[in-house]
Structure 1
Amino acid sequence: MSASGGSKAIIAALGANLAIAVGKFVAFIFSGSSSMLAEGVHSLADSGNQALLLLGGKKAKRAASEEHPFGYGRERYIYGFLVSIVLFTIGGVFALYEGYEKIKHPHELNDWYWPVGVLVFAIIAETLSFRTAIKESNEVRGKLSWSQFVRRAKAPELPIVLLEDLGALVGLILALFGVGAAIATGNGVWDGVGTLCIGVLLVVIAIVLAAETKSLLLGEAADPAEREKIRAALVDGDSVTRIIHMRTLHLGPEELLVAAKIAVQHDDSAADVARAIDAAEERIRTSVSSARVIYLEPDVYRPEPAAAPTAEA
Structure 2
Amino acid sequence: MLVALAANLVIAAAKAVGGLAASSPALLSEAAHSVADSVNEVFLLAALRRSRRPADRRHPFGYGKERFFWALLAAVGIFVMGGCFSFYQGVEALRNGGGEHGRSGYVAGLVVLGVALLAEGGSLLRALHQVRAQGDTGKALRDPALRTVIAEDGTAVVGVTLAIAGMALHMITGRVEWEAGASLAIGALLVYVAFRLGRDARDQLIGEAADPEASRRIRELLRAQPEIDSVEALLTMKTGLDSTLVAARVDLVPGLDSERVEEIAVRIKRSIVRTVPEAEQVFLDITERGSPEAREAWESPAATRERGEA
For Structure 1 versus Structure 2, the TM-score category normalised by the shorter chain is 0.7 to 0.9
Bigger proportion of residues as helix = 2
Q: Per-residue deviation at 1:66?
A: 2.1
Change (3 A) 1:140 1:224: farther
Matched, 1:132 2:126: yes
Q: Within 5 A, what are the aligned runs for 1:165-180?
A: 165-180=153-168
Alpha-carbon distance, 1:242 to partner: 3.6
Partner of 1:81: 72
Instruction: Give the equivalent residue in structure 2 for 1:244.
Output: 232
The AA in structure 2 aligned to 1:24 is K
In the alignment, what sits opposite 2:149? 161
2-side partners of 1:49 and 1:279: how far apart?
44
Gaps of 5+ in 1: 1-9, 306-313
Alpha-carbon shift at residue 194 of structure 1 (Å):
1.4
Query: Could you say if the C-alpha distance between residues 283 and 26 of structure 1 is closer, same or farther in structure 2, counting changes exceeding 3 Å?
Result: same
Superposition pairs for residues 1-313 of structure 1, below 5 Å? 13-109=4-100, 110=102, 111=104, 112-139=106-133, 142=136, 154-301=142-289
Whether contact under 8 Å (1:60, 1:73) holds in the other structure is yes
State the alpha-carbon separation in 2 of the partners of residues 50 and 41 from structure 1.
14
Q: Which amino acid in 1 is paired with 2:122?
A: L
Farther off after superposition, 85-94 or 18-27: 18-27
Supply the distance in 1 between the matched residues of 2:72 and 2:178 (Cα, whole angstroms). 33
**Structure 2 residue ranges without an equivalent (≥5):** 300-310
Contact 1:53 / 1:79 at 8 angstroms: preserved in 2? yes
RMSD (Å) for aligned C-alpha atoms: 2.3
Q: Give the fraction of aligned pairs with identical amino acids, expressed as a percent.
A: 30
Tell me the distance in 2 between the aligned counterparts of 1:240 and 1:205.
46
How far off its partner does 1:232 sit? Answer: 3.0
- Indicate the larger mover: 216-225 or 102-111: 102-111
TM-score by length of 1: 0.85
**Aligned partners of 1:197, 1:74: CA distance in 2, in Å?**
33
8 A Cα contact 1:30 1:114, kept in partner:
no
Query: Would the alpha carbon gap of residues 229 and 47 (structure 1) be closer, same or farther in structure 2, given more than 3 Å must change?
Result: same
Q: State the distance in 1 between where 2:177 and 2:145 align.
A: 37
In 1, the alpha carbon distance for the partners of 2:222 and 2:35 equals: 49
**Which runs of 4 or more aligned residues in structure 1 lie more than 6 Å from their structure 2 counterparts after TM superposition?**
none
Corresponding letter in the other structure for 1:298:
I
Q: Deviations over 1:259-281 (max 9, x none)?
A: 00123232111111111111111
Quickly say closer, same or farther: Cα 1:158–1:139, change in 2 above 3 A.
same
Rounded to whole Å, the distance in 2 between the matches of 1:12 and 1:300 is 59
**Count of residue correspondences:** 290
Contact 1:178 1:193 in 2 (8 A): yes
Distance 1:254 1:301 in 2: 34
Q: Which structure carries more relative contact order (alpha carbon 8 Å, separation 6+)?
A: 1
Partner Cα distance (1:194, 1:229) in 2:
49
The answer as to whether partners of 1:261 and 1:296 remain within 8 angstroms in 2 is: yes
Instruction: Give the drift of 1:142.
Output: 4.0
Q: 1:15, 1:224 → 2: CA distance? A: 40
SS in 2 for 1:119: helix
